[in-house]
Structure 1
Amino acid sequence: MSAVRGPGRRRGARHAASRAARRRHAGQALVVALGLLLAGGAMLHAMYSAGRVAAAKQRLVDTADAAAWSAALWRARVLNYHAYSNRAILANEVAIAQSVTLLSWSKYFERLARNAATVGTVIPPARLVLEGVADAATLARESAERAAALEIAARGAERVGYRAILQASQEILHLSTQGFGASMVAAEVARANDPSFFAWVLPDPSGAWLELTHRADSDAERRRFADLVLASLDPFTAGPRSADVGLPVPCLGLPVLRKRGATMLSQDLERWEAVDTLSVHVNRPRRLRCRDGEALPLGWGAAEAGTALGAVVGTERGVADNPDANALAGTTISSFRAYSGIARVRELDYGRLADPRFPSPVLAVLARQPGAAVATSMSRGLAAGRMLPPDAFAGGAAPHLWALSAAQVYFRRPADAPARIEYASLFNPYWQVRLAPPTAAHRATALGYVR
């Protein structure tokens, strides 16, 4: 009986011991599970905050790039505006020269028509023609004189003329590209990306932008612009408006008609002068030489814009060949004092540029975002307990995120333009913009703000 019951008791004892051991170890597994859950939560908390911070930093960097590019683009567009307005000012100068030219020629033709009887003694068939158009010539001269007065006053008046308005607009727009104006562009772009973003243009210790352009008012610079104006004149305006009519037989006393005319810019660049004359010349032998002499003025006319001299003083392009006719033209010269001389345009300051051929100033923008605006777990109240450590943006530990970016303004012909190199100037609107690395000076300046 005892032999049968012994093994059963032993098995029961073992089962009881096993159940007791399982009960003792069950509490330990719960602790491990809770620890793993806590570690996972902390890791998730850290990963969420780190991811949000990384995303915020990337957005801020992209915004800084956009702000720098936009501020530099504004500068490039202002430079292109300078190019267009310089061309407009050049065309304005050409229009003034054309006005005095047309008036001079119309006065010349009116005088020639009024002198029909005198002309008829030299060219008999011309008398009837000139007498028939005399009244029309007077009407044309009066119309040209009124038009020239209005044209020159509207274009050349010192303070309210078309040219003065263009020059003033250049100065206003140039001021808008300085630190404050460019910073407004950068800040607007930053706010458009995120209302919590703020950006501004850093001051440039090198002064590259301030030294890029200036008002070209020296004599040499004005002369260079005047050469451009003279090269842009049409052939009729530039002259010479000259012709010789007569037999090519020297020293026989035969009459020769000499038509002379030109439009000239004074040496001081303050006055346009146009003159047209026609005179009869006679070649006669004098002291074993054949000499040409003005015998009879037939037509003359002159006009001036700028400093009023009341006389024809230019001698270029053969206009001095008819001195008597020139003197008569000077007595009736039409003067327009509204013109104030060759314009002073905005141009590159080549003497101060490190690279006069291809200047490329760099603009740097510093952007920031308040740390409280970064959507971490702490800032969103997702980890308000005591078990998880605070992230870097809890309690104002990191007040701002920062990003530094830079862009460069440069001059380059469009890709579809003829393949040739063109140096930078403010007469062709080829200024563009690209992102560029910040300079060492910009980085040092940015560190001063971040600290």
Structure 2
Amino acid sequence: MKRTSHRRSHTHGGQALVPALLFLLIGGVGLYVAFGSFQMTSAKIKLQNTADAAAYSAAVLQARDYNFSAYTNRAMVANQVSAAQVVALKSWIDELDNTYMGNPDTEQLVTTFADHPALWRTPKQRAHADIAPVRATLDALLPAVARGIGGITRALSDAQTNYHAAIFAAVPEVANDVAQRNQPDTHVTSGYFTSPRNAVQLAAWQTYTRVVTPAGNLDADHFADVVTDSTTLDRFVKARVSSRSVAPDYQQLDDSSARCPGGGRIAIRVAHVGGTQLRSDKKGWQSIDASTAHITITCIDTVDAAIAGHGGSANGDVSNFMTHPPFVAWSDWKGYGGYMNFGDPDSTQPGMNVPAAMAEQFTQGPGVSLDTANGGLLPYQDIAHAPLASEAPRITIEVERMAGTLVKSAGVGGAGRMRVDGGSASGAMRTLASAHAYFVRPSAGALDDGLAGALHDAGAWLREDGKTEYPSTFSPYWQASLASVSAEERAAAQAAQFPSDARATTP
């Protein structure tokens, strides 16, 4: 009995080893496949992250381009204001000196009616002696200052255009460099940025902004609107209204007149008006200052407005200072932005009821231009239309990685039915990513929006008037963000990777 039992135990020994080996084999195959699939999934995720980084870097360049345009546009606006101030100062000092030199008609009236003409002439002579060296210094200095301002403005204009062109040239190279820094075995698909697949998107970016040349154009202009805004120009430029009669005795007279029966008197007060305007054709600034002597003689019961002095100045091309010489048309008195009659507050129509001294200076012209080369408004970058959306055109980047670099561990790629498909086409794995610049300066009611909520201290970005500001190349509020890839771009990418003839022959 014992022998029989021993034989049965020996016959059934090791039966559990077969299922164990089978389970181990299946588990090994599963682990083998899972590891290979994990490498493919990891490669796809890393490639997408790399493409996102490359596209975002391109959008950063796009935002920098628009911000650079905004900073340079603002600098050029400031320079134009400075140029207007220089023109205004030249006109003002010339008129002041001319006024203290004396006008023959006024001097004749003083000689005829005033008992003590020295009360009028002595202060004028003293002031003229004081003003003469100041005018001589400014006459030597202001043209150089005007040319310097114009030269800087020209440099800013050229830098803006060149920087914009350089950004377009740099985007493919920068995106590729960022891709390779993220993954050395990846690169931006060669020629994709300028390929027919990207033509529509590239054209949208290229035409989003344009170079505008204001000078010589009579139409409305964004830059001219900004530079002539009432908050941009100071009062010295816009309207220099003042009294030339300064205590105790400058440019004023109150004297007895023996020529008047019964003890008459003669009184003189001098009023000054002047202003600087951007010409309607935007080719330069022009300025006129004029002083009028208001003379009262009691015995003849009259008040006479005589020319006391005048001066003028301009920059830019002044060869056609008047549109219709030798006649003065009403349009010649108009400047850009609603300005007219060079700051005279009493005239409500162009060229009508202006002081005689101002009309006299206008017919004489401004003299030699302070800056003939760069006096007018220079070319600048502006958004081509008036966009309401905050996003600039998207930039899409295609990044690829060669199939041979997808599996890092040798031998785990498998073969035959066990081979793990890397999902590559034409020997490479490719992916798309899009990004764009966007403009954000929220209004008070938009602080809870997702766009504004992403800002640090969003309240500090508000305009003083609380209004929403739309995208422009005059405010440096451009930032970069990733964007979704359009279905059309994905379809075009798939069609490029799997040609129709290849798809037709694929089993």
User: If the length of structure 1 is used for normalisation, what is the TM-score?
Assistant: 0.79
Superimposed CA distance per residue, residues 334-377 of structure 1 (whole angstroms, 9 cap, x where no aligned partner): 42323342223211111xx7x44545322222222222222354
Whichever residue aligns with residue 367 of structure 2, its letter is I
Whichever residue aligns with residue 207 of structure 2, its letter is E
Distance, in Å, in 2 between the alignment partners of 1:51 and 1:345 is 53
Match in the other structure for 1:80: 67
Whichever residue aligns with residue 11 of structure 1, its letter is K
Whichever residue aligns with residue 213 of structure 1, its letter is T
Match in the other structure for 2:441: 413
Superimposed CA distance per residue, residues 394-414 of structure 1 (whole angstroms, 9 cap, x where no aligned partner): 9x9873222222123222116
| Aligned residues between the structures | 417
User: Contact conserved, 2:287 with 2:342, CA < 8 A, in 1?
Assistant: no
Quick one: structure 1 residues 263 and 381, their matched pair in 2 at CA, closer, same or farther if it must change by over 3 Å? same
User: Contact conserved, 1:278 with 1:325, CA < 8 A, in 2?
Assistant: no
Q: C-alpha displacement at 1:177, in angstroms?
A: 3.6
Distance, in Å, in 2 between the alignment partners of 1:383 and 1:283 is 108
Quick one: structure 1 residues 430 and 113, their matched pair in 2 at CA, closer, same or farther if it must change by over 3 Å? same
Quick one: structure 1 residues 331 and 13, their matched pair in 2 at CA, closer, same or farther if it must change by over 3 Å? closer
Distance, in Å, in 2 between the alignment partners of 1:387 and 1:450 is 24
Match in the other structure for 2:347: none
1:214 aligns with 2:210: yes
1:208 match: secondary structure = helix
Quick one: structure 1 residues 126 and 230, their matched pair in 2 at CA, closer, same or farther if it must change by over 3 Å? farther
Match in the other structure for 2:421: 392
Q: C-alpha displacement at 1:101, in angstroms?
A: 0.8
2:376 match: secondary structure = coil
2:206 match: secondary structure = coil
User: Contact conserved, 1:53 with 1:376, CA < 8 A, in 2?
Assistant: no
Q: C-alpha displacement at 1:33, in angstroms?
A: 4.2
Whichever residue aligns with residue 141 of structure 1, its letter is R
Match in the other structure for 1:5: none
Aligned residues: CA RMSD = 3.7
Quick one: structure 1 residues 12 and 324, their matched pair in 2 at CA, closer, same or farther if it must change by over 3 Å? closer
Q: C-alpha displacement at 1:64, in angstroms?
A: 1.6
1:58 aligns with 2:28: no
1:36 aligns with 2:64: no
Any unmatched runs of 5+ in structure 2? 246-251, 254-264, 323-331, 334-340, 345-350, 443-457, 499-507
Instruction: Give the 5 Å matches for 1:114-263.
Output: 114-115=101-102, 125=119, 127-156=121-150, 161-178=151-168, 180-199=169-188, 202=193, 203-206=198-201, 207-217=203-213, 219=217, 223-231=221-229, 232-243=232-243, 255-263=268-276
Identity percentage of aligned residues: 26
1:333 aligns with 2:367: yes
Q: C-alpha displacement at 1:86, in angstroms?
A: 0.9
Quick one: structure 1 residues 51 and 310, their matched pair in 2 at CA, closer, same or farther if it must change by over 3 Å? closer
1:343 match: secondary structure = coil
Distance, in Å, in 1 between the alignment partners of 2:127 and 2:39 is 88
Superimposed CA distance per residue, residues 139-163 of structure 1 (whole angstroms, 9 cap, x where no aligned partner): 222222232211222232xxxx222
Which structure has the bigger radius of gyration? 1
Whichever residue aligns with residue 155 of structure 2, its letter is I
Q: C-alpha displacement at 1:265, in angstroms?
A: 2.3
User: Contact conserved, 1:152 with 1:338, CA < 8 A, in 2?
Assistant: no
Q: C-alpha displacement at 1:388, in angstroms?
A: 8.7
Whichever residue aligns with residue 344 of structure 1, its letter is P
1:277 aligns with 2:290: yes
User: Contact conserved, 1:82 with 1:346, CA < 8 A, in 2?
Assistant: yes
Any unmatched runs of 5+ in structure 1? 1-9, 285-289
Distance, in Å, in 2 between the alignment partners of 1:401 and 1:166 is 44
User: Contact conserved, 1:300 with 1:328, CA < 8 A, in 2?
Assistant: no
Distance, in Å, in 2 between the alignment partners of 1:175 and 1:345 is 13
Match in the other structure for 1:287: none
Distance, in Å, in 1 between the alignment partners of 2:382 and 2:23 is 71
Whichever residue aligns with residue 263 of structure 1, its letter is T
Distance, in Å, in 1 between the alignment partners of 2:99 and 2:479 is 55
Superimposed CA distance per residue, residues 107-140 of structure 1 (whole angstroms, 9 cap, x where no aligned partner): 2222334449977868855644443443442222
User: If the length of structure 2 is used for normalisation, what is the TM-score?
Assistant: 0.71
Distance, in Å, in 2 between the alignment partners of 1:45 and 1:126 is 110
User: Contact conserved, 1:204 with 1:441, CA < 8 A, in 2?
Assistant: no
Match in the other structure for 2:259: none
1:317 aligns with 2:339: no
Distance, in Å, in 2 between the alignment partners of 1:222 and 1:143 is 38
Distance, in Å, in 2 between the alignment partners of 1:191 and 1:66 is 10
Distance, in Å, in 2 between the alignment partners of 1:403 and 1:322 is 75
Match in the other structure for 2:316: 306
Quick one: structure 1 residues 446 and 268, their matched pair in 2 at CA, closer, same or farther if it must change by over 3 Å? same
Q: Select the residue among 340, 343, 346 that pairs with 2:378.
A: 343
Distance, in Å, in 2 between the alignment partners of 1:333 and 1:114 is 19
Q: C-alpha displacement at 1:220, in angstroms?
A: 5.9
Instruction: Give the 5 Å matches for 1:363-442.
Output: 363-377=395-409, 380-381=410-411, 389-393=418-422, 399-413=427-441, 415=458, 416-418=460-462, 419-442=466-489
Q: C-alpha displacement at 1:71, in angstroms?
A: 0.9
Q: C-alpha displacement at 1:294, in angstroms?
A: 4.2
Distance, in Å, in 2 between the alignment partners of 1:387 and 1:280 is 107
Q: C-alpha displacement at 1:427, in angstroms?
A: 1.0
Quick one: structure 1 residues 397 and 14, their matched pair in 2 at CA, closer, same or farther if it must change by over 3 Å? farther
Distance, in Å, in 2 between the alignment partners of 1:387 and 1:360 is 49
Distance, in Å, in 1 between the alignment partners of 2:425 and 2:60 is 36
